[in-house]
Structure 1
Amino acid sequence: MSTDIPDADRTAWEKAGVRLELDGELATVTLCDPARRNAQTPAMWRALAAVGRALPGDVRVVLLTAEGSSFSAGLDRAMFTPEGIPGETGFLRLAASTDAELDAAIASYQAAFTWWRRNDLVTIAAVRGHAVGAGFQLALACDLRVVAEDVQFAMKETALGLVPDLAGTKPLTELVGYARALEICATGRRVGAEEAVATGLANLAVPAADLDAAAADLAAALLAAPRAAVIETKALLRGAIDRSYDQQRAAEREAQARRLRDLAGM
């Protein structure tokens, strides 16, 4: 894929609150609407999905970060009002659509959250301050999470009479288990840095001033490993939860055979 991304696309993405920076094998995606605490809109979701499609093929690691004191305060509440957001279909109008139209709309929103799990990428979320609702789910979309000590994760959808529907329920359950995931989602309570690390929700917690450096160090460590081996390893680990022990052993053998033959030039 070409590394040349049209300036018009970059400008449109930034207007929607998303900035993409490329540095060789590293891509940095920044939520850049700090005045609104990076509140999420369908336009932001379209921009995030477009960024995923536009990434050059040589990108190996994607770092997701945010400007300001909060990672993302979640969904823009204007989506719930009769006025809605200009140019967007508000939730009240969406609720009146057909089943197929409603399903298609939610699927289009989810596209912003799904590409982060691709096997050819390792994705890192650097999270500070509030990561609420859609913000929490965007952090969960990434493979790894480095958090500031002031982080506050919360899944507020249930309190609004909704469910988390932006592809966050599976990674949350995989990370912390069913019982804790249910309690976090049903109560909407805040999860701080210490609990996030203790439960596996975050890989590392650091002082807020050190967050960017810690995330950059992790990205550098990932880039130091051979790409093909990382891709195979990620695929093995992602598939492990759905395989039996014997199926996983077989998958390991198949992956190792590919690696050995590749290294031997066969």
Structure 2
Amino acid sequence: MCNVSNFKQAVGFLISILAFNVSAQPEKSVEEILLRADQYRLDSAAAKVVSEVQLYENDELETTRHYTVYTRPERESLVVFKSKVEAGQKMLMLGDNYWLLMPKSRRPIRITPMQKLLGEASVGDISTLTWSADYQGKWVQSLELKLPMSESVMVNQLELTAKTSGASYQRIELWLEKGSDFPIRATMYLRSGKLAKEAWFTKGERNARTSVVAMTLHDRIQPSKKTVINYQEISPVALEAKYYNPAYLSRNTVSGL
């Protein structure tokens, strides 16, 4: 008799949990949530993104780099390396195809998605990928998330799976502020399943709109390394089609970009 009573209590408890999870699901679709989250990072289809990237080792600033990224629809972007030590370098990404262009070489160098991720501030992180276009999302749960500075916020947790082989990361766990869908935290996993990086997003204002103004990346493969990407300018800019041609880029310095 006691066993029957315990069984009924357990079933009731499970039903209550399931009922809570169903009711906790957001009214919007996951696709709508991701579109809104992306708008805090890029609010136009074609944009110019000016970034300052600070590289830390054991919390000591090692170096600062500068990049200008031009994005347009269909997962196409051009990264122009602006720091003196990298001057003249460019990275072109057209869907799942990637080229590195060096200032003293007349030939574009084809690279793989994994090579795109090399370095503390990988081009995959700088190029501001869009979650709604590059990933298939799934709602996981609502919960209270503790922030690094001891505060807490209610969030929706999503799990994202790459739609294409060229996505920067195979899987992303994403926490978005409940109600606003502002991105709070993300953990990024390689195709091997290994946790590569953990990101925290900084809320601020740009052009009188709430925006992601910085992203802090903690390297989980090399824990002593940290990268802070400050988005100094994001403006609607559409480059001419010729700039998305690797042959054109290899013959021209495009120093004015």
Which interval holds the TM-score relative to the shorter structure? under 0.3
TM-score, length-normalised on structure 1? 0.20
**Structure with the bigger percentage of helix:** 1
* RCO comparison, higher one (Cα < 8 Å, 6+): 2
**Structure with the bigger percentage of strand:** 2
TM-score, length-normalised on structure 2? 0.21
Bigger Rg, structure 1 or 2: 2
